[in-house]
Amino acid sequence: GAVVSQHPSRVICKSGTSVKIECRSLDFQATTMFWYRQFPKKSLMLMATSNEGSKATYEQGVEKDKFLINHASLTLSTLTVTSAHPEDSSFYICSALPVASNEKLFFGSGTQLSVL
Amino acid sequence: DAKTTQPPSMDCAEGRAANLPCNHSTISGNEYVYWYRQIHSQGPQYIIHGLKNNETNEMASLIITEDRKSSTLILPHATLRDTAVYYCIVRVAGGGSNYKLTFGKGTLLTVNP
């Protein structure tokens, strides 16, 4: 089956620093990728939709200047949490929709971000 | 997308069938029923989806009522590794940016030895 690789799986950073999370589709191309955030014991919340070669679309309440998304190729999207604060600590999950199929969304294994 | 209602938790004995219900009484004619699951601290995994006919794959079966207002996901022989949160999601067909999945609270299925 299709594999989405997300890196790093866990990161600890100091408040005020920036953290980049990578999401790669390993064996398929994806023009559309989605970024979710999940707080402990809560459901996934969609943050933004990333389209290859164009600007990301952010959900209401998500600061686009704080969560920078770049989707420069058909296999890679990155999420950069800028000037991270403790309240940004969360589980971040990316997902990719194969170009060849609109039926299944494939998810990465997630990144646990802890901001001290 | 239509709203779904699922029980917050269920238990199942290992080796037995797990039947997870989902209510989607406001579903529209062009909306599909999708099931995903999330094992603790991992990304969600696609299980199955359907429009109005029953569907079966290597993971599970999906039974949709004739009026499409509810459905049941069936794991025929649950194992300990099936312990996860199961999400029932209703969405309109379509890809690209329209493939937005709105996750509810899901059902925590615990498979017991």
Instruction: Extract the tokens encoding B74.
Output: 């069936």
Whether omega for the bond prior to residue A8 falls within 30 degrees of 0, making it cis, is yes
pLDDT-based confidence at B98, cuts 50/70/90? confident
DSSP state at residue B81: G
Residue B97 to residue A93, Cβ atoms within 8 A: no
Chain segment A76-92, per-residue pLDDT in tens: 999 999 999 999 999 99
CA distance B93 to B31: 6
Q: Of A52-61, A82-91, A101-110, which one has max mean pLDDT?
A: A82-91
Is A53's pLDDT higher than 90?
no
Among B94, B97, B103, the residue with its CB nearest the CB of A44 is B103
Could you say which residues from 30 to 59 on chain B have a Cβ atom under 8 Å away from some Cβ of chain A?
36, 38, 41-46, 49
| pLDDT class of A107 with cuts at 50, 70, 90 | very high
A114 and chain B: CB distance < 8 Å anywhere? no
pLDDT at B100 over 90: no
CB < 8 Å to B105, chain A? 43
Q: Are B42 and A109 in contact (CB < 8 Å)?
A: yes
Using CA atoms, how far apart are residues A73 and A84, in angstroms rounded to an integer? 26
Q: Report the mean per-residue pLDDT for chain A.
A: 93
| E strand residue ranges, chain B | 9-13, 18-23, 31-38, 45-50, 55-56, 61-64, 70-75, 84-92, 107-112
Distance from CA of A79 to the nearest CA of B (A): 16
Quickly state the pLDDT bin for B99 (edges 50, 70, 90).
confident
Contact criterion met (CB < 8 Å) for A95 and B49: no
Is residue B87 scored above 90 in pLDDT? yes
